[in-house]
Amino acid sequence: MTSLVTREISLHGNRVTYRTGGDGPLLVLIHGITSSSASWEPVLPLLAERFTVLAPDLLGHGQSDKPAGDYSLGSHACLVRDLMLTLGHDSATIAGHSLGGGIAMQVAYQFPELVDRLVLVSSGGLGREVSLFLRAVTLPGAELVLPMIASQAVLNAGGWFARAAGHLGLRAGADLGEIARGIASLSDVGARRAFVHTARSVIDAGGQRVDARDRLYLAQAVPSLLIWGERDPIIPAVHGVRAQKLMPGSRLELFERAGHFAHLDEPIRFAGLMREFVAATEPARVGLDDARELMLRHAS
């Protein structure tokens, strides 16, 4: 089995931890909010058989530093770029889950020359609807409630949290386990601060306020794959269905039995699909002139 290692690097004075290993074309995996590179663990060995995988802990998450700074999509996208360039990589297939999908789209928008292919897994930024819990974080006073929720989740993740999650549509399995682990991570004050700032940068009380759909026509220059669990209770699968229609040449795969964490519910299918997608497509070569032509054509 291909070995994977966890390393760290200092970028702009902040420690960034990442998992890497494997051999082949580079595949960058960007996790979602309150998660970390650990959320990719079940698929990392499978993907490393065909790819060089690079899975960072975003700032404010996992083992990376949690500074009092900028947690916008643009800032996270810059981190992905800086990590890639510092490690000597010129381009990659960029895959993002949930918030990570929004970051992956931001990388493609800000730095198109870095993106060979784009993979969006239950991605944010493609519609207004989002879970009640994430909307509640944007309300005044959420910072005062989160420490109590996080400490109780650590002590009794299988009790009140499981019952409350059931009312929100979360099923036992990957969804419940990963969200419980994410909430437990908020017992750390730095992670809690990063979570609130990140959530408020993309969500308000009514739902997601960052919407990439007006720019999805740019994706026609990049091979794109959307993967969604049909039972996703966090970001509904209809977002993927609508987005695919706005992304010329893109492909949509719905996992019938999966929830928000499709790559955890069906890791073998997910890894096989990633291998197939990369093998069947040529990497994009998008420069500034290509992006300019697409935007001018859309504006006319």
Structure tokens, 173 = 């399995």
Contact present, 96 and 102 (Cβ < 8 Å): yes
Catalytic residue (one of 31, 97, 260, 263): 260
Catalytic residue (one of 64, 98, 185, 201): 98
Residues 76 and 79: their CA atoms lie apart, in Å, by: 5
Place of tokens 């931001």: 106
Q: Is 232 one of the catalytic residues? A: yes
Q: Is 260 one of the catalytic residues? A: yes
Contact present, 198 and 33 (Cβ < 8 Å): yes
Q: Which residues are catalytic?
A: 98, 232, 260
